[in-house]
Amino acid sequence: MTPFGTRVHDAMEQRGRFCVGIDPHAALLREWGLGDDVAGLERFALGVVEAVAPLCSVVKPQSAFYERFGSRGVAVLERVIAESRAAGALVLLDVKRGDIGSTSQAYADAYLDPASPLFSDAITASPYLGFGSLDPMIDTARKHGAGVFVLALTSNQEGPEVQHARTIEGGSRGERVADLVLGRLRALNDGADPLGSVGAVIGATIAESVEHLAFNGPVLAPGFGAQGGTAADVKRIFGSVAPHVLASSSREVLRLGPDAAAMREAVRRANDDLAELG
């Protein structure tokens, strides 16, 4: 398979830089007039896929919202993955896995091996057990032309409690993690053209600029849209790296359902807003 870095670069060029999160919150199911059950989950998730997957470069289902319904919910997730890819969108499965040894390899086999029904184009992963703990996922992704997005600087409200804590050297823990993660990503993506396949997750609402941390890979920037992030924020934070950024939102689109036309229009507007990034 063509490496993920090449595929996501081409997808952003052809379909834009907006990534839609397909996150079936219980509250959203109710807003759509659906039950908080497997039938409601299926109608919601596949309705979103039908509306946006033909337009988006990337869709990002959050695995937890499917897992909460057990095996039947995971079966819906399998359909979301398959039908999104059939519609031409890349699938970034948001699982944020991070473990060691054989467990890390098992996660890799579950999400990054084409033999698995949950095989996705890329996943999110956490480096907080040490970057080396992600080696099985990165190696498996490379073997099968998939990608991994590693958490670096998140934009959630709770993040500063850990990320802004000061180290004995005087900097913040978040800056230290970002430096370590992006340093490793530079090495992993070295020489890749047009982009490497190991990306970073950096929030679209963080205060600081990270342009100096360029690493020749894709960036997932959650927090766009309903959470306050704008195209101007993406340009401010990422500077010359902005053309490699996938700005992600879920509620910005999902709250417009079940009106498929309104969801599609929201995707078009977001892609137009982000088009100025390059």
In 10 A of CB 14, how many CB atoms?
9
**Calpha distance 3→195 (Å, rounded):** 9
In which residue are the tokens 């996705």 written? 120
Element (H, E) at 103: helix 101-112
Rounded Cα distance between 112 and 143, Å, is 9
Torsion on CA atoms 201, 205, 211, 215, rounded to nearest 10: 0
Instruction: Output DSSP code: residue 165.
Output: P
State the CB neighbour count (10 A cutoff) for residue 110: 18
Q: CA torsion angle for 229, 230, 232, 237 (degrees, to 10)?
A: 30
Assign 38 to helix, strand or coil: helix
* Residue 60 bears catalytic tag: no
Decide: 111 and 138 in contact? Cβ < 8 Å. Answer: no
Angle (CA) 207-230-54 rounded to 5° is 130
Q: CA-to-CA distance for 20 and 268, rounded, in angstroms? A: 11
118-148: string of b/e by CB count within 10 Å (b at 16+)?
Answer: bbbbbbbbbbeeebebbebbbebbbebbbbb
| Residue among 60, 96, 143, 235 flagged as catalytic | 96
Beta carbons within 10 angstroms of residue 39's beta carbon = 12
Active site residues: 96
